[in-house]
Chains A and B, each alone.
Chain A
Amino acid sequence: MIVKLAAIFFSMILVNNYVLVKFLGICPFLGVSKKLDSSLGMSGAVIFVMFMATAVTFPIQIFVLDPAGLGYLQTIVFILVIAVLVQFIEIFLKKYMVSLYNALGVYLPLITTNCCVLGVAILVVDDYGGDVATLGFAWAYIESLVCAVGAGVGFMLAMCMFSCVRKRVEVCDAPGPMKGLPITLVAAAITSLSFMGFGGIVENLFNVTL
């Protein structure tokens, strides 16, 4: 079982990377990756909020929406819960953890309308909601939390890698119309190409089927 958790974690980072393979959270990936420290801050905030959001929305889906037959309200409920949660985290950090707030605070308002947070909340329900019946709630809950953290770490890896790539791209002399954003997107294409090499690695490494 531990092996399966490790496999989920690494497959979220390498094979199903949220940014480069699934295209969730492209705005911050291109917008905030100019400097290494700001991309670290942003992805730290994303990991934190993804974990909290999944920890709250997964039980809501299993214990409130599904028994009441309200599965169709998922989108509305999740986005409101995430918006409230981000506000709450911001207020809480400002009051009690000032140093953490100074590091992550500026990035928190970006996260409410960030598709990777809502995306991870919906995808873990799709992927691991079925495991509640077979493996029990506790185990499915742990799986979904590991998946959320893995997705966040994958986001961090992509952001940090890309901010280093970007430093090189910015000094090079691109053809006139390609300067700026277009050449950055082409660089992202090559970064994404490198992640395709990880296809199948996790299944073979841990000898499990996901």
Chain B
Amino acid sequence: MAQEKVSKVSILTNGIIKENPVLRLVLGTCSTLALTTSVSNAFGMGAAFTFVLVLSNVLIAMLRNVIPAKVHLPCYIVIIASFVTVVQMVMQAFTQSLYDAMGVFIPLIVVNCIILGRAEMFACKNTVVDSAIDGVGMGIGYTLTLLLMSTIREILGNGTWLGFQVMPEGYVPIGIMTQSPGAFLCFGLLMGLCVWVEEKLDARIERKIGCQPIKDLQEGEDNK
């Protein structure tokens, strides 16, 4: 365990800026690209994701001394999958249209590498309170990025924001922005902007896509 006491505020802001899961760690790209077509989708996904992340972080931190190291991964997956099922049932009951719009990506929160990554990197070695704060911070960072991207895509692609018309009457929507190429384009440009800001602030980091096993594989290839 870390010797110096990390303040609660820095744990919270860590997930929002320093280790922003989407733009800096490049994790959870599938749901980011797929669910930023409209602001309401992004909001729904952010809320569902934050709920699962906070609760799974708390439960894993509680059980961190009980779960045997050899089977930790299956245990984490079961815990996360249970919370995802809860979210699925709640959304089906109360927000049917959002549930239909998000489709397969709600069950796919289980395999979102941010949640599993936080469980392995943070929750399994920290206290319950710290893990909960970390979950909230990461959730806010993820949701804000999703909202930013969906704002750009919905305004350009549809002329609306959360369903309200914001562009002037004569505006011709760029339909491609709400379709799949627009997602890649918007994500690429946003990440480029993020790198530009980092360069100005002298805080550039090397980006490696994806979850730990993919990074290990890439390093193995680079060393060849």
Selected contact of B184 from candidates A118, A176, A186, CB within 8 Å: A186
Within 8 A of A (CB), among B71-99: 73-74, 77-78, 81-82, 84-85, 88-89
CB distance from B191 to the nearest CB of A (A): 4
Q: List the B side residues contacting A75 at CB < 8 Å.
A: 81, 84-85, 88, 107, 110
CA distance A166 to B183 in the complex (A): 18
Tell me if A's interface is mostly helix, strand, loop or mixed: helix
- Find out whether the CB atom of A184 lies under 8 angstroms from the CB atom of B181: no
| Residue-wise interface mask of B (84-126) relative to A, using a CB-CB cutoff of 8 A (1 in contact, 0 not) | 1100110000000000000010011011110010000000000
B26 CB–A CB distance under 8 Å: yes
Q: Given the complex, which residues of A lie within 8 Å of B196, measured CB to CB?
A: 176-177
Return chain A residues, CB-CB under 8 Å to B34: 22-23
Contact flags A177-208 to B (C-beta < 8 A → 1, else 0): 11011111110111011011000000000000
Q: Is B63's beta carbon under 8 Å from chain A?
A: no
Tell me if A150 counts as interface (CB < 8 A to partner B): no
A119 on the B face (CB < 8 A): yes
Which residue of the partner chain A has the closest CB to B92?
A: A72
Q: Which residues of B contact A107 (CB under 8 A)?
A: 217
Q: Which of A115, A119, A190 contacts B181 (CB 8 A)?
A: A190
CB pair B77–A83 under 8 Å, yes or no, is yes
Q: Is the CB of B113 within 8 A of A27?
A: yes
Inter-chain contact total with CB atoms closer than 8 Å:
151
Tally B residues with Cβ within 8 Å of A: 53
Contact A189:B221 (CB < 8 A) given known A180-B207, A181-B209: no
Q: B166 contacts the other chain (Cβ, under 8 Å)?
A: no
Asked, given contacts A31-B217, A110-B213, whether A73 binds B207 with beta carbons under 8 Å apart, the answer is no
Q: Which residues of B contact A76 (CB under 8 A)?
A: 78, 81-82, 85
Judging by beta carbons under 8 Å apart, are B77 and A196 in contact?
A: no
* In the assembled complex, B180 has its CB within 8 A of some CB on chain A: yes
Check: A93 CB closer than 8 A to any chain B CB.
no
- Report the bound CA distance from A198 to B181 in whole Å: 14
A-B contact list, 30 entries, CB within 8 Å: A21-B180, A23-B180, A24-B104, A24-B108, A27-B214, A28-B214, A31-B210, A31-B217, A32-B214, A34-B221, A35-B221, A72-B88, A73-B85, A76-B81, A76-B82, A80-B78, A110-B213, A113-B113, A114-B111, A119-B108, A126-B104, A177-B196, A178-B195, A181-B188, A182-B188, A182-B192, A182-B195, A184-B188, A189-B183, A192-B180
